[in-house]
């Protein structure tokens, strides 16, 4: 006698949501669907990002075809090195990633990453759909959980019953997390971070570069399309607010300028920031406490909804890749074992596999951020990053990845 298919609702078609749906949509014993409040063609999704070598290593094990597609010419550029120094051009760290990783990472537009991930699951996602309500059903006949959703274009509402598992993949402001765990209290770091894309200027900026003046940083790398991704940062005052006076060309130009004057590359970056200031997206660096499975064992948060972290090591989206691949692998094992222990057992297994790893990455990202603080000495901090203790942690981050096959 065949089992009733497991009904899985994925909330959010971001990195981790797409990976889960893509990895499980061919399973005969699962009915999986996804809702997302945004449009399918989200061309304004962020700007650019670097995806760490650990994400590509894990993805290559589970889905070599997708890993190859993400690394194709015109879609991304390889991330092979990390250069860091001072805004006068002094280089302190020049690290080939091959010294600490088994493969490169990639540099890619958010919109191109979304297109690659979403094109493979189009039939399983309902875009422009708002989640109005979700919770545990009062009657066991309705299944463990229910959802109420609304089509943003028609206004039609629908109640979806008999949901066995809800996956919160809806980002750091997750509605799923807030419903079942309460709103998380973010930990502020006291640093403003902003990002934008600007036209490239020759070969001044190629692979991953960071330049510091005191606690002020310019980060940049090239992406396909002859554009440069820039992420600048500067310390905030005790109020932890981004003052209007800081959102001006005058402030930002002087923010990174060293006594000896800008290097050629940093002059370009600072000029580009000032010239395109109206395109900047402003934010504050923060993290949230970990949350995975709920007490009743039918809800699981993944990606930023579970563990939004400091972006200093570029591990936000990268850990979402790891989460998605680990969940798919654990789900397949659990199904092959006959759903032993029920859904709550699956949720507990995923949390067990991820908790220590995510705690390490969050802690490492936090420790690596001290050069962004007011009063920091970037030269000393960067020299520490050339020493064995830091490099060993990078090796652990990039090489000692989850096994998902």
Tens-binned pLDDT, residue by residue, of the chain (405 aa): 357 899 999 999 999 999 999 999 999 899 999 999 999 887 555 689 999 999 999 999 999 999 999 999 999 999 999 999 999 999 999 999 999 999 999 999 999 999 999 999 999 999 999 999 999 998 887 789 999 999 999 999 999 999 999 999 999 999 999 999 999 999 999 999 999 999 998 889 989 999 999 899 999 999 999 999 999 999 999 899 999 999 999 999 999 999 999 999 999 999 999 999 999 999 999 999 999 999 999 999 999 999 999 999 999 999 999 999 999 999 999 999 999 999 999 999 999 999 999 999 999 999 999 999 998 999 999 999 999 999 999 999 999 999 998
Q: Which residues pair with 131 in a beta bridge?
A: 149
Count of domains forming the chain: 2
Residue 122 inside a domain? The answer is no
92 within 8 A of 383, measured Cβ to Cβ? yes
Domain that holds residue 337: 1-38+127-186+288-368
Q: Is residue 117 part of a domain?
A: no
Could you tell me the CA-to-CA distances from 264 to 196, 253, 331, 336 in Å, in that order?
Answer: 20, 14, 51, 58
Task: Report the CATH number at residue 320.
Answer: 3.50.50.60
This prediction's pTM:
0.96
Per-residue model confidence as pLDDT tens digits over 97-121: 999 999 999 999 999 999 999 999 9
> Are residues 306 and 347 located together in one domain of the fold?
yes
Residue 28 sits at φ, ψ, to 5 deg, of -65, -25
275/149 same-domain check: no
Under DSSP, the state recorded for 214 is T
Same domain, 302 and 171: yes
46 in the Ramachandran plot: left (φ > 0), alpha (ψ -120 to 50) or beta?
left
Same domain, 343 and 308: yes
Cα gap 205→269, rounded to integer Å: 9
Domain at 215, CATH number: 3.30.9.30
Q: Tell me if 300 is assigned to some domain.
A: yes
Same domain, 245 and 326: no
């Amino acid at each position: 006698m065949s089992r009733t298919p497991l009904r899985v609702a994925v909330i959010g078609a971001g990195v981790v949501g797409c990976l889960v749906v893509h990895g499980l949509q061919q399973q005969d014993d699962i009915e999986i669907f996804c809702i997302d409040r945004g449009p399918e063609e989200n061309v304004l999704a962020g700007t650019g990002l670097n995806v760490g070598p650990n994400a590509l290593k894990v993805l290559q094990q589970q889905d070599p075809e997708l890993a190859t597609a993400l690394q194709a010419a015109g879609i991304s550029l390889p991330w092979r090195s990390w250069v860091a120094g001072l805004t006068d051009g002094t280089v302190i760290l020049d690290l080939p990633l091959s010294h600490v990783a088994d493969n490169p990472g990639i540099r890619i537009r958010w919109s191109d990453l979304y297109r690659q991930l979403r094109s493979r699951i189009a039939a399983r996602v309902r875009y422009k759909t708002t989640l109005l309500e979700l919770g545990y059903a009062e009657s066991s006949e309705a299944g463990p959980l229910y959802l109420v959703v609304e089509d943003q274009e028609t206004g039609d509402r629908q109640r979806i019953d008999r949901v066995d598992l809800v996956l919160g993949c809806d980002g750091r402001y997750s509605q799923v997390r807030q419903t079942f765990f309460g709103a998380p209290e973010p930990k502020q770091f006291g640093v403003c971070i902003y990002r934008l894309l600007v036209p490239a200027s020759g070969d001044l900026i190629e692979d991953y570069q960071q330049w510091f003046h005191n606690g002020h940083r310019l980060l940049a790398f090239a992406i396909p399309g002859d554009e440069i991704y820039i992420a600048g940062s500067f310390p905030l005052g005790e109020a932890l607010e981004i003052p209007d006076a800081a959102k001006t060309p005058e402030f930002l130009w002087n923010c990174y300028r060293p006594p000896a004057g800008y290097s050629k590359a940093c002059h370009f970056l600072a000029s580009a920031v000032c010239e395109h200031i109206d395109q900047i997206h402003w934010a504050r660096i923060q993290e949230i406490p970990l949350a995975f499975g709920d007490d009743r064992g039918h809800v699981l948060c993944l990606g930023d909804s579970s563990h939004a972290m400091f972006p200093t090591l570029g591990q936000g989206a990268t850990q979402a890749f790891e989460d998605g691949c680990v969940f798919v692998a654990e789900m397949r094992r659990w199904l092959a074992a006959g759903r032993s222990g029920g859904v709550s057992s699956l949720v507990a297994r995923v949390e067990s596999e991820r908790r220590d790893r995510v705690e390490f990455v969050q802690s490492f990202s936090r420790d690596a951020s001290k050069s962004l603080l007011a009063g920091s000495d970037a030269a000393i901090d960067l020299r520490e990053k050339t020493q064995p203790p830091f490099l060993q942690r990078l090796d652990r981050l990039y090489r000692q990845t989850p096994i998902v096959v």
